[in-house]
A and B are shown apart, each in its own frame.
Chain A
């Protein structure tokens, strides 16, 4: 199975700050990577697919990038509503595997 190593496990940041979360794939997954946001008590929501494409309705302050087998999610100016847990997920091959998650809190 493809392992997705996500870092950091938790992150505390201030409003308007730039936040970056990374995910390292254990093997080549091309651009087949998604990012999800899960707010407290809610179901996950798709943010980014294809490593860099923004899902419908997602604010433009979110962006995704790829460098080899390392993937990054960037929030350009952190807002209160961005608080939650973020997961990466590889869609290259079954079984679909998720990263362990990054808990984002306000400082």
Chain B
């Protein structure tokens, strides 16, 4: 069955970096784009951007263009999100989610379990 399994929770200090992973299984990794979504505590969902799993080209939403890096390890069917120079506002759960195509458009059809990143001094 299709699964997206993410790495475990992270506790970091301001200014540090974090890299979280999302391992896909049950489908051909390069057939579907991978997206990242942020959910701050008690808040809604915010789309961060996506990465083309065939070319490795990332696309970032405006609020995530400066310190955020999407990458791939295609041989391991794994996508990564790295956040540099962490600040308190980065405290959130980060989800990877597959972009499935239905009736000519893309929707987030499978989700990882989420990674809680806590930034605290």
Contacts and interface: CB of A to CB of B under 8 A. Distances in A.
Contact of B47 (A32, A34, A98, A101): A98
Main secondary structure of the interface of B (DSSP, over half): strand
Ranked nearest first, the 7 interchain pairs of A and B with the lowest CB-CB distance are A43-B111, A96-B47, A98-B45, A50-B103, A49-B107, A95-B61, A34-B107
Interface string B101-121: 011011111011110000000
Given A34-B108, A44-B111, A98 B103 contact: no
Interface string B40-60: 000011110100000000010
Given A34-B107, A44-B95, A91-B105, A100 B112 contact: no
Contacts of A71: none
Interface string B8-39: 00000000000000000000000000010000
Contacts of A100: 44
A34 B103 CA distance: 12
- B contact residues, range: 20 to 34
Nearest to A45: B111
Interface of B: 35, 44-47, 49, 59, 61-62, 95, 97, 102-103, 105-109, 111-114
Q: Taking each of B35, B46, B108, which has the highest tally of chain A beta carbons within 10 Å of its own beta carbon?
A: B108
Contact of A43 (B35, B61, B103, B113): B113
A87 interface: yes
Interface in A83-98: 87, 89, 91-92, 94-98
A46 interface: yes
Interface string A2-29: 0000000000000000000000000000
A78 interface: no
B1 to A, nearest CB: 11
Contact of B108 (A36, A53, A95, A101): A36
B47 A53 contact: no
